[in-house]
Amino acid sequence: MTGSLAQEVEQTLATAQLALQQARWAEAHAGFSRALSTMPRSPQVHHNLGVCQLALGRYELANQSAERAIALLPSLWQSRLVQGHALQASGRSEAADSAFAQVLVAQPGNGEALLARADLAINVFGLPLQASQWVKPLLTDPVHAEDAQLTTLMARLYDRDVSATALSQAVMEFSKTHLRLPTGLLPPLPPVRQRDRPRVALISPLFGVSPVYFLTIAGWRHVAKGSDIVVFNRGHLSDWATEQFKSLATEWWDVQEMPAPDLAQRIHQADIDVLYDLGGWMDPVALQALSAKPARAMYKWVGGQSLTTGLESFDGWIGDEWQSPAALQHLYTEPLVNIPGGYATYTPPPYLPDAPVHKHSTPVIFSNPAKLSRGFLSWLARLPGPKLFVHRQFQFERTRHKVLQALGAADVEFVCPHSHQEALAILGRHEWMIDTFPYSSGLTAREAVAMGMKVKTFSGELFCERHSVHLQTR
């Protein structure tokens, strides 16, 4: 390599590295791609390229770049992290968990790898207790303590070992400590404007086939008749339900990667009259942005609505007399706004199957396996007869093992539907669905009733523990 060429490559790398540090991913990617043409055996260039591809959502390319970096330098555990995140984002959960486990062999106690394994444990493998164990060493870590504390709190929702009051207070304290943007970040909004059509904002990572669609779309169709709907999309869902939201939106903003301060500024600039948060604890970054109250009025509704956000910036928490009775106001920082007759309206999908005349007597447990708490499985073990567990996550051996360890192999069957439509077809063939506790089914219980099923219900105190209480009184 000539001196002038070497100088040019060095300048290209320096420019790309600066762009990488400033999260200008496309520019950094272009620079490292140019450098690779003259440095094809540089593990660091392959690694940096993988980092950029991961940030840009090019998951398969990120995995390939990480693989090349590791092949050139097997000790480069940082590339194994990139690989793990790329595999996780592309739905290859077992391979992702294996990649993070390999990081921990090279770097025992690596916080990013432990948090990643914990995320998979809760949200994919349905093992909240395992998630708590993964992050326990990080609870006092100066870098990762916040994420470890949040993981622990969310795991306790599924398998609660403290009172509802104690858990709510812990969440309020976490929110107060970690989810507040600096006072004065945003200038005061001007008074409510006189205009023909109010500006109503929705923010969520769940604008797709999710409870946010099935439990709120009827409301938004009504609101859209007299208001301009402004959507702040925090997720990557893209399906037929996403198109329904887009058809109602006057403005649609993709703000998936936006940090909390920038997100708060963006909402503030949109001059919103009323904002509805439909993400809740599914999106703590959005909650932090909303702590600055970037809209004139804000309400928490469906979506990550498991328990209080701990924020004082909301004007109300939308519930009903079953989900959030006034006597439980002490569990919320938000004022309870209870809707007579029910806080949500179920809109069935076009593929909801007709209920068959003759149904199987075997009860169905159709729920996120994370909701299969120790107490619930202990109760279920005392119930005689066969049980059918339905959820795509039972494809994983470790998820099935959790159930089999509690119930034994006799009279237990697992079915792993490939789609929501297939899951409903299976569910509707049965007479009974058994709900879980303490974390109960929200959407699924309504789907079961819509197909003529009976639901065995339980109830607690937290919002997520009362999703099917209304079924007991109707």
Rounded Cα distance between 149 and 108, Å, is 20
Q: 265 with 258: CB under 8 angstroms? A: no
Do the domains 199-338 and 364-473 sit in the same CATH topology, yes or no? yes
Looking only at the bridges linking them, the beta strands covering 249-254 and 228-233 are parallel
How many C-beta neighbours within 10 Å does residue 105 have? 11
Q: Does domain 199-338 have CATH number 3.40.50.11380?
A: yes
Token digits of residue 299: 């309400």
Left if phi > 0, otherwise alpha if psi is -120 to 50, otherwise beta: which for 379? alpha
Q: What is the pLDDT of residues 344-362, one digit of tens each?
A: 999 999 999 887 777 899 9
Residue of 329, 337, 357, 354 whose CA lies nearest to 424 = 354
Q: Does domain 364-473 have CATH number 3.40.50.2000?
A: yes
pLDDT of residue 3: 64
Residue of 441, 414, 421, 445 whose CA lies nearest to 432 = 445
Class of domain 3-178: mainly alpha
Which pTM was predicted? 0.91
Rounded Cα distance between 34 and 46, Å, is 11
Rounded Cα distance between 385 and 412, Å, is 9
Residue of 326, 323, 301, 300 whose CA lies nearest to 313 = 300
Is the bond preceding residue 438 a cis peptide, omega within 30 degrees? yes
Looking only at the bridges linking them, the beta strands covering 454-456 and 364-365 are unpaired
Chain centroid to Cα 303, Å, comes to: 9
Buried b / exposed e over 235-260, threshold 16 CB at 10 Å, is bebeeebbebbeebbeeebebeebeb
Measured at the CA of 75, the angle between CA 73 and CA 80, to 5 degrees, comes to 90
CA atoms within 13 A on the CB side of 394: 22
What residue type is 36 in one-letter code? L
pLDDT of residue 474: 45
pLDDT of residue 91: 92
Residue of 461, 453, 406, 413 whose CA lies nearest to 434 = 453
Residue of 262, 107, 34 whose CA lies nearest to 14 = 34
pLDDT of residue 2: 64
Token digits of residue 421: 């439509």
Buried b / exposed e over 29-51, threshold 16 CB at 10 Å, is bbbbebbbeebeebbbbbbbbbb
Q: What single-letter DSSP state applies at residue 434?
A: E
Q: 456 with 432: CB under 8 angstroms? A: yes
How many C-beta neighbours within 10 Å does residue 133 have? 15
Residues paired with residue 434 on neighbouring β-strands, in sequence order? 456
Domain segments of the chain as ranges: 3-178, 199-338, 364-473
Residue appearing with tokens 């470790």? 398
Q: What is the pLDDT of residues 214-238, one digit of tens each?
A: 999 999 999 999 999 999 999 989 9
Q: What is the pLDDT of residues 411-423, one digit of tens each?
A: 899 999 999 999 9
Low-confidence ranges of the chain (pLDDT < 70): 1-3, 5, 472-474
Rounded Cα distance between 221 and 114, Å, is 43
CA atoms within 13 A on the CB side of 217: 22
Sequence-distant (≥ 6) Cβ neighbours of residue 311 within 8 angstroms:
175, 179, 287, 290, 291, 333, 334
